[in-house]
Each structure stands twice: as C-alpha cells, then as structure tokens.
C-alpha cells in the first residue's frame, strides 16, 4: 500500500476550516455575530485560495501566525517559562514594535492569505494600541491569550464592537489552583469580567 505523505500546511489549514465551520454554526442565534462570521468565512476561503496559489508556485504560506506583541507582563506566575528565561519583564513597553509596525505586519499577513493571528506576550492587553490596530482587520481573527487582569470597560466595548478580537483567558482550573499559580485574587478578577461579558452578551 502506498504511504500517504503528511502535509503540516494541509493539516493546519484543515483545522482552521473546521474551526470556522463550527464557529459559524455556534453563532447562528446571535444575528451580529452570525453576520460577522458569515463575512469572515468568505474572507477565510479567499485566504485559503491565496495560500494554495502560493503553494503551487513553491511558496509555503502558514495559515496562522503567533505574534508576541510585548515582553512586558504585570504578573509573576509560578512556572512561567518567559519569566524564567528573562524574556518577560515588569517594565513598561520600550523599544518594542509600534502599532504602525504591527499594522504593516497585519496588512502583509492579510495580503499573503493569513486569516488567524494569535496575540501573545508577556501580557498582550498591556498593548491596547496594538489590540486596537488588530480590530481594524475584520478578515483576520485575533485570539488574544491574556491573564485577564487588565480587562476594563474600554476593552469590553472594544471586544463588543470588533468581533474579530477574541480574548482567551488563562486559568488553571478552580479558584484555589488559579490563585496559587497566578497570585491571590486573580480568579476573582476573571469571574467579575466573565459576568461583565455575559451582560453585554459576549459570552454564552
Ligand atoms: S501572565 Fe503569562 S507571561 Fe505573565 S507571568 Fe504569567 S504566565 Fe508569564
């Protein structure tokens, strides 16, 4: 029997297609979200077409990127590899890429057919300027990996308006485990924002 070759690109692209299909189904009860996802599904298909075209001329475009938009963080979690390797600091962002630099990267990524960019840190919510810039690219979904402690009313409004920004909270399980790793009161902070998100119907 002929052995089939594994293609990482196809595997990742297939994963993204499945996520988009499920997301479209999951948002059917919310007209705003459903309209956004329907538009995104179209641009995601166009992005896949661009990647396939590049592939046919020998150029490999990944279906998603991970963008570390800051090395600053406001927590000292136990076991953090970034802290351990001194890749993460308490200082305010200095000598980091500006929001215009990131806009240029997002524009290039969009042109190449990339429709998912994970925003990570440090703590990415420290860079509101970059998150706001990302909100202007509705053809790209930006999952934002955050510890959730810097969420405020402005962020909730922003996430409500820009449906392509998806905060993904890091918690360790129950309150005790989360506070043990991230610091006292961190789980409570997350619960409060969970309730605030529910109020503006950003969470079901
Ligand atoms: S929030 Fe993330 S980057 Fe910051 S210390 Fe904790 S694990 Fe490390």
The architecture (CATH level 2) of 63-203 comes to Alpha-Beta Barrel (3.20)
Rounded to whole angstroms, the Cα distance separating 46 from 40 reads: 10
pLDDT at 86: 85
Rounded to whole angstroms, the Cα distance separating 38 from 27 reads: 9
Question: What is the domain partition of the chain in residue ranges?
Answer: 63-203
Contact 60, 9 (CB under 8 A): yes
How far does residue 145's CA lie from ligand 1's centre (Å)? Answer: 10
Question: Residues enclosing ligand 1, CB less than 6 A?
Answer: 73, 75-77, 80, 82-83, 88, 121-123, 147
Using alpha carbons only, how large is the chain's radius of gyration in Å? 18
How far does residue 183's CA lie from ligand 1's centre (Å)? Answer: 11
How far does residue 179's CA lie from ligand 1's centre (Å)? Answer: 13
pLDDT at 117: 96
- Which residue's CA is minimally distant from atom 3 of ligand 1? 122
pLDDT at 178: 79
For ligand 1, what atom is nearest to the CA of residue 73? Answer: 4
pTM: 0.83
pLDDT in tens, the chain (204 residues): 556 666 666 666 677 677 766 766 667 677 777 888 888 889 999 999 999 999 999 999 998 899 999 999 999 988 888 888 888 888 877 788 999 999 999 999 999 999 999 999 899 999 999 999 999 999 999 999 999 889 888 999 999 899 999 998 887 777 787 778 877 776 666 676 666 666 666 655
């Amino acid at each position: 029997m002929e052995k089939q070759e594994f293609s990482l690109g196809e595997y990742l692209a297939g994963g993204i297609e499945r996520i988009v299909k499920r997301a479209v189904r999951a948002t059917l009860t919310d007209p705003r979200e459903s309209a956004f996802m329907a538009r995104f599904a179209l641009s995601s298909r166009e992005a896949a077409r661009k990647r396939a075209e590049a592939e046919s001329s020998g150029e490999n475009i990944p279906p998603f990127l991970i963008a570390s938009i800051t090395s600053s963080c406001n927590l000292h979690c136990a076991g953090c590899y970034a802290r351990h390797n001194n890749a993460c600091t308490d200082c305010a962002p200095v000598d980091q890429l500006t929001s215009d630099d990131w806009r240029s990267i997002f524009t290039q990524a969009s042109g190449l057919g990339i429709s998912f960019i994970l925003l990570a840190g440090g703590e990415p919510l420290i860079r509101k300027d970059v998150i706001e810039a990302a909100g202007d690219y509705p053809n790209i979904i930006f999952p934002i990996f955050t510890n959730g402690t810097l969420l405020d009313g402005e962020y909730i409004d922003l996430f409500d308006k820009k449906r392509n920004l998806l905060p993904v909270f890091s918690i360790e399980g129950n309150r005790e485990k989360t506070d043990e790793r991230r610091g006292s009161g961190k789980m409570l902070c997350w619960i409060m924002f969970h309730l605030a998100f529910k109020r503006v119907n950003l969470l079901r």
